Structure 1
Amino acid sequence: MAKLSGITAVDRAPTLSRRAYLQIQQAIRDGAIRQEVLYSENELAETLGMSRTPVREALISLSREGLVAVESQRGFRLRQLSADERREIFDLRSLLEPYTARRLALAATEEDVRRLGTLIDAQQDLGGPGQQSEFLALDEQFHLLQSELLGLERTHATMTSLRGAMWLIGFEALTLPHRHEDVIAEHRAILDAIARHDPEAAAAAAHEHIVTTAAAVL
Structure 2
Amino acid sequence: MSTQIISPSYELSGTLPVNQQVYRLLRKEIVECTIPPGTLLSEKEISSRFSVSRQPVREAFIKLAENGLVQILPQRGTFVRKISAKRVADGRFIRCAIECSIVRRAALLVTPAQLLELEHNLNRQTLASKNNQTSEFLALDDQFHQMLTGIADCPLAWETIENIKATMDRVRFLTLSEVSPPDSLIAQHYRIFDALTRRDPGAAEAAINAHLQEMIYTITPIERQNQDWFEPEGQ
TM-score, with length taken from structure 1: 0.84
Q: Distance in 2 between matches of 1:75 and 1:216?
A: 32
Report if the CA contact (8 A) 1:102-1:200 is conserved: yes
Deviations 1:112-167 (A, max 9, x none): 11111111111111236862221111111111110122211442332222233332
Quote how far apart the aligned CAs of 1:53 are. 2.1
Unaligned runs of 5+ in 2: 1-15, 221-235
1:114 aligned partner: 116
**Rg (Cα) greater in structure:** 1
**Structure 1 residue 194 and structure 2 residue 196: aligned?**
yes
Deviations 1:86-126 (A, max 9, x none): 11111112211122111111111111111111111111112
Q: Distance in 2 between matches of 1:196 and 1:25?
A: 37
Report if the CA contact (8 A) 2:19-2:56 is conserved: yes
Q: Distance in 2 between matches of 1:16 and 1:161?
A: 19
1:179 aligned partner: 181
1:88 aligned partner: 90
Quote how far apart the aligned CAs of 1:25 are. 2.7
Report if the CA contact (8 A) 2:92-2:165 is conserved: no
Unaligned runs of 5+ in 1: 1-13
Quote how far apart the aligned CAs of 1:171 are. 1.1
1:4 aligned partner: none
SS in 2 for 1:126: helix
Report if the CA contact (8 A) 1:173-1:213 is conserved: no
1:212 aligned partner: 214
Deviations 1:62-108 (A, max 9, x none): 21222222233444332223222111111112211122111111111
Q: Distance in 2 between matches of 1:214 and 1:144?
A: 22
Q: Distance in 2 between matches of 1:92 and 1:78?
A: 23
CA RMSD of aligned residues (A): 2.2
Residue pairs, 1:119-138, within 5 angstroms: 119-127=121-129, 131-138=133-140
Residue pairs, 1:96-175, within 5 angstroms: 96-127=98-129, 131-175=133-177
Give % identity: 31
- Number of equivalenced pairs: 205
- Cα gap change, 1:179 to 1:21, in 2 (>3 Å): same
**1:131 partner amino acid:** Q
Residue pairs, 1:14-29, within 5 angstroms: 15-29=17-31
Report if the CA contact (8 A) 1:40-1:74 is conserved: no
- Cα gap change, 1:125 to 1:143, in 2 (>3 Å): same
| Worse-superposed segment, 170-179 or 198-207 | 170-179
TM-score, with length taken from structure 2: 0.78
SS in 2 for 1:77: strand
**1:53 partner amino acid:** Q
1:11 aligned partner: none
SS in 1 for 2:71: strand
Report if the CA contact (8 A) 2:41-2:80 is conserved: no
Q: Distance in 2 between matches of 1:195 and 1:206?
A: 14
Q: Distance in 2 between matches of 1:128 and 1:29?
A: 22
